[in-house]
Amino acid sequence: MKKNIISFMTMAIVGVGALALPDAIHTLSTKPQVKEPTVSASASRLSMPMRARRVATSSLQAAFSIQGADAQQATWSENFDSGSAGWTLGMDENNYFGWDLAKSTSKPYTDIDPNDVQSLHIDGPYQTFRRAIAKAASPTIAVPANGTLHLDVCYSQNMNTYAVLTINVSTDDFSTVTELWNSTQETGEASTRWHSLALDMAAWAGQQVRLQFVYGPGTNDTFNTGGYMAEYFIDGLQLTGLQEVEGVNVATGEEIHFVDMSAGNVTAWQWTFAGGTPETSTDPCPTVYYKRDGTYDVSLTVTDAQGNTSTVTRNSFVTVTGSAPVAHILPPATFRYDDTHLPMICPLIPVQYKDASTGFPTQWNWTFTNCAPATSTQEMPWVSYEQMHEQQVTLDVANEHGTSHDQISVSAEYEGYISNILPTDVPTTYDLDGEGTFPGSNKMKINAYAEKFSAPSCPMVVYGALVFFETAQAEAIADQVSNVGVHLCRVDENGNPGEAMDSFWWFVTDLATSTSTTLRGTLFEFDPQVVNEDFYIMVDGIPEWNDSCDVSFATARMRNHDNTAYYKIRDEWRPVTGFFSQGMGTSFYIMPLIAHSPLTLLPVGTERIEVPATAGVLEQQIFSMFGYDNPEQGGSDWCRITSTPNDMTLDTLAIAYDALPAGIASRETTFTIVDRVGASTCTFTIVQKQEQQSVRGDVNADGAVDVDDVEILIKIILGKDDAANYDRRAYLTDDDIVDVDDVGEVIKIILNKA
């Protein structure tokens, strides 16, 4: 177990103060000198014409449609209002319970179908020892091409630990089955509600199948015995296939799901969506959206194994209608400086703002305080902050339908504690009704929690993280010495917490907890780690909840936006959004300690530096938060950095260069400087060249720039001696002065004569 020599590390939150790092130069340190943060302890659906087309039949005939309500044609349905003829409603093997027909009272299906009489139903026993498996099966059903099974299921996701409903399909009377869906796959509000499902049946096109509904073991049943406690209602079953439609009307940004309905043995697809995103596709069923108003053609070419092709083009198939944009600013990083709860941006170096507006604007007007530049009309501008602390950003967007405005404040800071906590958040925990505490000890197989942080605006170093524990109660020795771990994790290929970059652990007895007036953080220290992408801080090792053990840490109260919190249940990471109620998420009170690592020449943006042809020494200022190592030389011995680092944030590079040899017009070399923590690099080029002669120069050295000089230029370029035979005055513009304009006329004549 990795432990600090200090046996009990806590940081009491007592007030607000400024960062120790000044705006100006300071001596470098191995860790940012900052106070602990202050935390308050209180306080459209597709719209399509209904006219259908008939698909022509031949060995190969291109045709397509879209997934949408008006493109669906029902081939079979069942609502159980007239009974269950043809169905097999089974009991469990001990006849404790089984499938029947009943009407839901707590969540009436009449809210969906006003004429509803009853639904397929099962209610498991409430005794653990009676848990079992019960099945219901449909009559035989013919599956159409591009078939979709629609149905509504009423249940509570919170009951998945006790019982899971599975929907299977079989072509051989259940000798073999394929799972279509199970109740653990749903997200959103966890309490009892009707879930509308649309399950893909295309794999069984043209086959006779039966459906099977299985009331089976819950996720806590490690012996696979069976389910209990949970109740399910099923209604509104319908099997549909697609038909072609005349066209589709959508809003800008609304996705259209195209479906190939071609006849023949198609092996390749080539779609063309002029004006769409994407504009082409080789998928059999691509998804496309449009950014601008208008009507658009869609074309599909299909190819079979013999190389035969068939093409169908539907003119003006898609009609797109836009709307006025709604402006929204996405700052270079979304995590927040804890002193201000504002997005934290690195000062001095270039950072990029992004337009996150909806409605596809075509014009952008940005303004920035204490930035270079102060304004921009780019969609995603780069700026650099010239001053620290709170700054303002505004964005005005427009398109043909209207305009919109957004404004935010940010904090330009080098270092400090960061979090995803909003100014209005209040720390809390949630009682799980005898199942434990969220986030913390529980009996629900939730064994880890993680807070996701955005990529920084500049590479940064992470030193550790504060976690604000609310309770750390443990009576049993085994619980008291549980290793509660905090890990700095990369993001894996699925967007979940991945490889741990570093970790730290404390015993439960070492954790600082809150008082009635103060929320206290426990610091988990890391070896300094460089981060330049999204990352997680993960908490695990919290002991399971029991009557004498409860370990929990603070989370913000649920909100309907900006969820950054995740939990791991039975080895599956899930966002907290929907854990308690539909669309509601939160952020954990987890605060990494970070320092940005800017490294740049001054003035900011310097990338190419010109020096004269004569030998000399250039003095160039450089800013580096952590200092820099000796730079990599550019591979040329004529130019070199002769100074050594001064261990300050601001330094001056001495760049010596030799004289440019005669006969060489120019040369250049590149230097790369890396800071001492390996977080940032700075690359610049030194360019040396001869002074350029003016085009007004005296070519024949007679002391005058005149027509004779123009003639000599012609002779040189053409390599001819008859230049004097040309009309000299033809080389001159009407002002009788030999200048740059005359050279242009000479070039024109040469091009015509050569």
Same domain, residue pair 724 and 674: no
The span from the CA of 510 to the CA of 522, in Å, is: 9
**Tokens representing residue 731 in the block:** 């080389």
Q: What local confidence, expressed as pLDDT, does residue 741 receive?
A: 65
pLDDT (tens digit, 9 = 90+) per residue, 601-627? 999 989 999 999 999 999 999 999 998
Domain-ending residue, one of 242, 263, 284: 242
Mean pLDDT value across the chain: 86
Q: What local confidence, expressed as pLDDT, does residue 57 receive?
A: 41
Q: What local confidence, expressed as pLDDT, does residue 663 receive?
A: 86
Same domain, residue pair 615 and 716: no
Strand spans (E) along 615-746: 616-624, 639-641, 650-657, 666-674, 681-689
Q: What local confidence, expressed as pLDDT, does residue 190 receive?
A: 82
Identify the CA nearest to 451 among candidates 566, 346, 554, 360: 566
Q: What local confidence, expressed as pLDDT, does residue 557 receive?
A: 94
Same domain, residue pair 83 and 213: yes
Q: What local confidence, expressed as pLDDT, does residue 20 receive?
A: 31
User: Has residue 91 been placed in a domain?
Assistant: yes
User: What integer is the mean pLDDT of 93-113?
Assistant: 94
CATH code for the domain of 377? 2.60.40.10
Q: What local confidence, expressed as pLDDT, does residue 295 receive?
A: 97
Q: What local confidence, expressed as pLDDT, does residue 634 receive?
A: 65
Identify the CA nearest to 68 among candidates 206, 239, 242, 203: 242
Residue 187 near residue 198 (C-beta atoms within 8 A):
no
Backbone angles phi, psi at 667, to 5 degrees: -155, 160
Residue 202 near residue 219 (C-beta atoms within 8 A):
no
pLDDT (tens digit, 9 = 90+) per residue, 299-328? 999 999 999 999 999 999 999 999 999 999
Tally of structural domains, the chain: 5
pLDDT (tens digit, 9 = 90+) per residue, 557-581? 999 899 999 999 888 899 998 777 7
User: Has residue 252 been placed in a domain?
Assistant: no
User: 227: which DSSP letter?
Assistant: B
Domain-ending residue, one of 190, 215, 242: 242
User: Has residue 554 been placed in a domain?
Assistant: yes
Q: What local confidence, expressed as pLDDT, does residue 246 receive?
A: 86
pLDDT at 139 over 50: yes
Same domain, residue pair 539 and 568: yes
The span from the CA of 561 to the CA of 456, in Å, is: 21
Interhelix angle 707-718/740-753, rounded to 10 degrees, is: 40
Same domain, residue pair 684 and 720: no
User: What integer is the mean pLDDT of 53-80?
Assistant: 76
pLDDT (tens digit, 9 = 90+) per residue, 78-87? 999 999 999 9
Q: What local confidence, expressed as pLDDT, does residue 10 receive?
A: 38
Q: Which residue has the higher pLDDT, 58 or 218?
A: 218
665 SS3 class: coil
User: Has residue 254 been placed in a domain?
Assistant: no
Q: What count of Cα atoms within 13 Å lies in the side-chain half-sphere of residue 232?
A: 32
Same domain, residue pair 500 and 636: no
Domain span at residue 399?
329-417
pLDDT at 141 over 70: yes
Same domain, residue pair 401 and 549: no
User: Has residue 746 been placed in a domain?
Assistant: yes
Would you call 43 exposed, middle or buried from its count of C-beta atoms within 10 A (0-12, 13-18, 19+)? exposed
Q: Which residue has the higher pLDDT, 189 or 562?
A: 562
CATH code for the domain of 85? 2.60.120.200
Same domain, residue pair 495 and 369: no
Backbone angles phi, psi at 603, to 5 degrees: -70, 155
Task: Report pTM.
Answer: 0.73
Strand spans (E) along 291-381: 294-304, 309-321, 329-330, 336-337, 342-345, 350-352, 354-355, 363-368, 371-372, 375-376
State percent of the chain over pLDDT 90: 68
User: Has residue 443 been placed in a domain?
Assistant: yes
pLDDT at 47 over 70: no
pLDDT (tens digit, 9 = 90+) per residue, 339-392? 999 999 999 999 999 999 999 999 999 999 999 999 999 999 999 999 999 999
Same domain, residue pair 642 and 740: no
Q: What local confidence, expressed as pLDDT, does residue 189 receive?
A: 81
User: Has residue 68 been placed in a domain?
Assistant: no
pLDDT (tens digit, 9 = 90+) per residue, 499-540? 999 999 999 999 999 877 788 999 999 999 999 999 999 999
Same domain, residue pair 408 and 550: no
Identify the CA nearest to 14 among candidates 592, 553, 518, 591: 518
Same domain, residue pair 360 and 437: no
User: Has residue 320 been placed in a domain?
Assistant: no
Residue with tokens 């040899």: 661
Q: What local confidence, expressed as pLDDT, does residue 41 receive?
A: 45
Residue 626 near residue 677 (C-beta atoms within 8 A):
yes
User: What integer is the mean pLDDT of 57-68?
Assistant: 80
Same domain, residue pair 573 and 616: no
Q: What local confidence, expressed as pLDDT, does residue 242 receive?
A: 78
Q: What local confidence, expressed as pLDDT, does residue 70 receive?
A: 65
pLDDT (tens digit, 9 = 90+) per residue, 407-459? 999 999 999 999 999 999 999 999 988 889 999 999 888 999 999 999 999 99
Strand spans (E) along 114-177: 119-123, 134-137, 141-142, 148-155, 163-170
User: What integer is the mean pLDDT of 719-739?
Assistant: 52
Domain-ending residue, one of 581, 596, 611: 596
| Single-letter residue type at 298 | V
| Single-letter residue type at 235 | D
